[in-house]
Amino acid sequence: MESLIKKANELSILCGVSIGIVLHKPLENNAVLWPSPEVFSDRLRKFLDFSESERAKKMVTHEKYLHHRLNDENEDLSKSHNKKELKESQLLLNELLIRGKDFSRINLVQLNDLQSFAAQMLKKLEFKDDEFNEQERCMPTPPPPPRPYNASFSHDGVQ
């Protein structure tokens, strides 16, 4: 119970939010209101003064939290999967081009992976090309080089 209250206090300070906790032990008739019964009642009253839609916006349910976490984990998993496929395609391309692996020994999945790898590399090259062209457009044009001067001078300074 102490660690929960400590964490709630830390979150309140770090996030700048008002937190209220009701602690109820089974088989006991009294509940503990944190940080105090008066402050808890005031915070609950302020929360209940919001409209139903405002309360729904501010409240994070366990279900919403888990849904958000699941989406984040799925995104991370997808990124890891894409990285793995990219690395496998790089290794396969290395075997084909540098080690001389026979093209007839690759399967359709590997061929599709190579196609995806090539498409990703083309996108990267196009991005780099656009980036380079943008830098080139932003650079000031250099002044023209000086023209050569071919005048002959005599020793007395007269041409």
CB 19 within 8 A of CB 2: no
> Is the pLDDT assigned to residue 157 strictly greater than 70?
no
Q: Is the peptide bond before 35 cis (omega within 30 degrees of 0)?
A: yes
pLDDT for 126 equals 95
Dihedral sign computed on CA atoms, order 126, 132, 133, 138: positive
Percent of the chain having pLDDT more than 70?
94
Question: How many CA atoms lie less than 13 Å away from 126 in the CB half-sphere?
Answer: 6
Find tokens 């084909």 and name the residue: 96
- CATH number belonging to domain 2-59: 3.40.1810
Task: Note the pLDDT tens digit of each residue in 1-41.
Answer: 789 999 999 999 998 989 999 988 888 888 889 999 999 99
Residue 117 CA from chain centroid, whole number: 22
Average pLDDT on 104-116 reads 88
Task: Parse the chain into domains and list their residue ranges.
Answer: 2-59, 84-138
